[in-house]
Structure 1
């Protein structure tokens, strides 16, 4: 057995009615999860438009996305549990109404404090969507529909993560940046309608409410939210050279430690640590974080290269990332069919290997690479991302029972959130530091007075001296062009190193998969070697 009888029975599950419309239920899960991820992506990608429209500085603007995402992390520990107590239907309808209403004012607000408060409220509301939806899949859908609910979760992550550039680019190009917020007034009511149709009514479970681990919810929510904010602001504030970043880490770390100690001693813990300590649950949680790191190849490195080196706009970058997003319509259902026939661990190895191979192909990068040069690597990445996440979540869920639905939904979301943010923060810092190193190393060969340097400077100064540019001394302009070329090549080399790092970390994930044992008999996937 994957769970001890004691743990499984610690909080007896209430009788939850099955959904009479499972297909609609899966659609509600997908739309809700899509809204959550797309908003996080658009809030980050559209920061320049938001800052410009609202006349905000860079430092002020950076907190717009941080507050939104940290609020999601804050509510995650409570969301899955409260959907068990109150019902997923209530949680999604209430939070959906709040989110839709709070998404209307931001484009019209010009007071920074009010905008930040609205972002916090929006984050709290939308942060409940994914944990509550995952809990619904395991509690209210018939077992044969669980895998399709999980597939909907996996689909929305890869799809919305990579379609975000195209959507934000379209808003920006057409001058409709307000729809970064207002789109939710259209999408959220759709999710609420699907929720009302598919999710059955049930009374509040007052016995579970009495047993709620309020201390665990507060410790985990606030602790992980502070750590998330620290990761999101770390690169901008130069990590431990900033008192804010250090304070966020110290406060968050102490609260998470308090959470772990409390969970060991709690009579009815929010997340039973004995469950998480099992290899078949702990390793997938770690693999979700590694998966999030691998996804930065397409969520940060590639878009940053295309913006900084090729000078492309968001809509043009979106055209490239669509080669990852659009194949998910075929790939995710294919993974579901294969999971019914093939050991999930085999598909996991295949998925993580494809992510590594896609990144490895990109190590041949030069400053001449354009969108078409990434097609092969992007298609391979698309396969890896689809196989990796779908098989990973399915395998993890196959090792728990419905009474642990809230715990596993919370764990999955925390691991996914932190994993993606750790990956993004590390890669951004890694690229920045490596660019500085390469700029210095290349600069050692560009010395004033050397014949090659003087020849290059003269050549670059030519266009500035042949016409009245009004840009100052041609020789100085030529020197500036040469400096920009050095910086460009330094960035290209740093991106190559980043792709290498992602490839090696993804391969480390393959080694971790070897620690997984066959899951117990379950309605999701085969259990090789188990009777």
Structure 2
């Protein structure tokens, strides 16, 4: 009986609470992994830089290759088209060759093609080498993001993504500056040869930091080459359509009409084929996920803002303010320098606060800077532009870092490579669409404003006659020919009208960018609440 009572007493005792289940500690990240990641980030900077670095040197390159302005634009178009085409393919090629072999191979080829660009003997050779350079350089962008997502634990990914996003936004800011400096002092081929400096460092870092992986060449035989061909035709034609459309008066050109049709058919065929496959080479179904779709859409708008602003502002400074490439670089550089300080702060904020709030603040700052540029006039110069550039630099890190967090939110490990490729493709396509829209806006609005200003500049107006008299007197003092002086006065007045029309067209472009960025804030709040490192 005593034994039974003791057992009853023991059973009646309250059970101690179960021990708390502690999360497993995250694996430590060794130095070799960090070296590989920073080498990959350097590759992203190098690849994006090469989109912009030729812009400051186009005049010299066109002169050396005996190319017109319209022909010279193909140097940028071919690079961008090849870059956009290869980005969705990188996940597949990484599976085939392994990250180490694929990245090392692309870096070597990128450096070889960069060198060949510097030795190009005519325009067709330059276009081919630039396309090959874009195809190898474009692969470096999503593979760097994939390395960060697969090699770093969740608590460290924000740091890696912060450095990656910093490199992707700093490159457009420093590209025109670097191109102008190198061209002025060493000639235009140096803008391609300079890639060897970061390229060698990248090769060493990747070779040391990444482990060898077995090749899976059998995947090449099993690849869906029909879908790959449709994607290549569709995306490549879309870039040509966007980049060359304005200079060829859009659908008045047979080439542009053909590219539009090829883009439509190619992209539709690509989507249709992938939907019928069990294991597509890239998972387009990710776009149907609300948060990923929002991140891609807002990322495209941010790409439009980033590449659009670095397209319009140098045009304004060159055509209106008369700045040379070095002076333009001094202005554009202010869009990059403050980001070095802001990006670590953005990473810290992303770990503590709702990323929708942070991204919205960044979009608001970026939009505000565009609206400030929408008030420019013909006398606007360096001093009046620095603050708007700094404001833009403060906003961009808040946007790009949080968008990358949204892009990987609740994405399975098997889909991380696809997510990386599709997100980066959306951002670059947004930049291409933005540049095309703004180029067309400038052309159309210049015609509109020229007509409106011309209506108010009547030769029967006393003010116009007085101005013509002043100009005629100045020209007469130089030439001594009254007829020639009068013609010069009329030409000067016409130039003044055109200049003011272009100023208004440039400000209209910035107004459009500001409106797009503001509208993106509303879209941003359709995404889930995300805090970096959280669930």
Q: Same fold (TM over 0.5)?
A: yes
**Structure 2, gaps ≥5 residues long:** 1-27
Q: Distance in 2 between matches of 1:370 and 1:116?
A: 35
2:275 to 264, 284, 287: 264
Secondary structure of 1:448's partner?
coil
Q: Contact 1:35/1:184 (CA < 8 Å) preserved in 2?
A: yes
Report the counterpart of residue 376 of structure 1 in structure 2.
387
The alpha-carbon deviation at position 182 of structure 1 amounts to: 0.7
Asked whether 1:517 is paired with 2:528, we answer: yes
Report the counterpart of residue 214 of structure 1 in structure 2.
225
Q: Distance in 2 between matches of 1:23 and 1:361?
A: 40
Asked whether 1:348 is paired with 2:359, we answer: yes
Tell me whether 234-243 or 145-154 shows the greater mean CA deviation. 145-154
The alpha-carbon deviation at position 212 of structure 1 amounts to: 3.9
Report the counterpart of residue 10 of structure 1 in structure 2.
none
The alpha-carbon deviation at position 209 of structure 1 amounts to: 5.6
**1:429-460, Cα deviation, whole Å (9 max, x unpaired):** 10111011000100011122332222111111
Asked whether 1:526 is paired with 2:534, we answer: yes
**Structure 1, gaps ≥5 residues long:** 1-16
2:402 to 391, 401, 408: 391
Tell me whether 183-192 or 302-311 shows the greater mean CA deviation. 183-192
Secondary structure of 1:310's partner?
coil
Asked whether 1:135 is paired with 2:143, we answer: no
Secondary structure of 1:467's partner?
helix
Asked whether 1:124 is paired with 2:132, we answer: no
The alpha-carbon deviation at position 185 of structure 1 amounts to: 2.2
Q: Distance in 2 between matches of 1:183 and 1:383?
A: 29
Secondary structure of 1:295's partner?
helix
**1:41-89, Cα deviation, whole Å (9 max, x unpaired):** 1133322121112222223212111112111122222223211332211
1:83-482 matched pairs, under 5 angstroms: 83-205=94-216, 212-296=223-307, 298-468=309-479, 473-482=484-493
Q: Contact 2:55/2:176 (CA < 8 Å) preserved in 1?
A: no
Q: Distance in 2 between matches of 1:403 and 1:213?
A: 18
Secondary structure of 2:115's partner?
coil
Asked whether 1:49 is paired with 2:49, we answer: no
Q: Contact 1:19/1:141 (CA < 8 Å) preserved in 2?
A: no
Q: Distance in 1 between matches of 2:482 and 2:308?
A: 38
- Going from structure 1 to structure 2, the CA distance change for 1:144 and 1:238 (only over 3 Å counts) comes to same
The alpha-carbon deviation at position 408 of structure 1 amounts to: 0.8
Structure of larger gyration radius: 2
Q: Contact 1:331/1:383 (CA < 8 Å) preserved in 2?
A: yes
Q: Contact 1:290/1:509 (CA < 8 Å) preserved in 2?
A: yes
Q: Distance in 2 between matches of 1:493 and 1:177?
A: 33
Q: Distance in 1 between matches of 2:54 and 2:91?
A: 24
Size of the aligned set, in residue pairs, is 508
The alpha-carbon deviation at position 391 of structure 1 amounts to: 0.9
Q: Distance in 1 between matches of 2:271 and 2:308?
A: 32
Tell me how large the CA RMSD over aligned residues is. 2.1
**1:99-135, Cα deviation, whole Å (9 max, x unpaired):** 1112223333323332222222212211211122222
Secondary structure of 2:522's partner?
helix
Q: Distance in 2 between matches of 1:472 and 1:408?
A: 68
Asked whether 1:486 is paired with 2:486, we answer: no
Tell me whether 456-465 or 349-358 shows the greater mean CA deviation. 456-465
Secondary structure of 2:73's partner?
helix
- Going from structure 1 to structure 2, the CA distance change for 1:475 and 1:111 (only over 3 Å counts) comes to same
